[in-house]
Amino acid sequence: MRNGVVNMSIEKNMDPRVKRTRKLLQQAFMELLQEKGFSSISIQDIAERATVNRATFYAHFLDKYALMDSIIREQFQQFVLDRLAAAPDRGGASLAVLIRATFDFLREFHHDCKPSDARFDPLLERAIQQELAETLLNQLKQAPASNRERQVPAKTLALVVSWAIFGSAIHWARNGQTPSAEEMSNQVLMVFTEGAVCPALGLLAEERA
C-alpha cells in the first residue's frame, strides 16, 4: 500500500466489501468534484454522498488527496491497459501505445479540471508519472532474457524513459496542445527508436574523442 493507494493487481484480491466501499467513495468524490471543485470538498461531504461515516472514509484513505491520487492512478492504469490490449503484437508497439496513452490521458485530465483546481495539478501529475514508470519497469522485467542484457538497471531505464515521455506530454498539455497528440507522440517515439538524443546533442562523440 502506498499513500492509501492499492494497485490493480492487489485490488483484484481485495475483499468485495472493501472494494465496493472504495468505489463508492471514489464515485462520490468525482461527483462532488464536478459540482464544487476540489478545495471546497470536505471529508464529511464525501462520506455523506457515499452514505458512509467519516470513520469508514479514514479506514480506506488518509485524506482527500490520497483518495484523488487513487482515482488518478487507477484511471491511468486502466487507460493504458485498454490500449495495450488493443495494440498489435509487434516490436515497438507497447512503447508507442504508452506514449500516446500518456498524451491522451493528460489532454483529458487538463480538459476536465477546473481552473480553481490548478494548485493540486502537480500532485496528480506526479501520480501519473509514477504509474508510467511502474508500467515501463514491469514491461522491462517481462522482456525476453536476451533483451535484458543491458548496462543500465531496468529501474533506472524505466525512470529516465518515463520522465522523458511524461515531461514532453505535460509541456504539450500545458502549452496549447499543438501539434496534435498523434504528431507529438510520433516525435517522442522517434527519439527512442531512432536514437536521436545523443547524435543530436553531439556530446558523447566529443567526450570520447
Q: What is the mean pLDDT of the chain?
A: 81
23: confidence class by pLDDT, cuts 50, 70, 90: very high
Same domain, 112 and 171: yes
Written as nine digits, the cell of 38 is 476540489
Stretch 58-78: mean pLDDT, rounded? 93
pTM for this one? 0.75
Stretch 72-87: mean pLDDT, rounded? 88
Q: What is the rounded distance in angstroms from the CA atom of residue 188 to the CA atom of residue 104?
A: 14
Same domain, 95 and 67: no
Is residue 78 domain-resident? no
Return the percentage of the chain with pLDDT > 70, whole number. 75
Lowest-confidence pick of 29-38, 148-157, 159-168:
148-157
Report the number of distinct structural domains present in the chain. Answer: 2
Is residue 79 domain-resident? no
Same domain, 101 and 161: yes
Q: Rounded to 5 degrees, what are φ and ψ at 50? A: -85, 0
Range of the domain at 8: 1-73
Is residue 52 domain-resident? yes
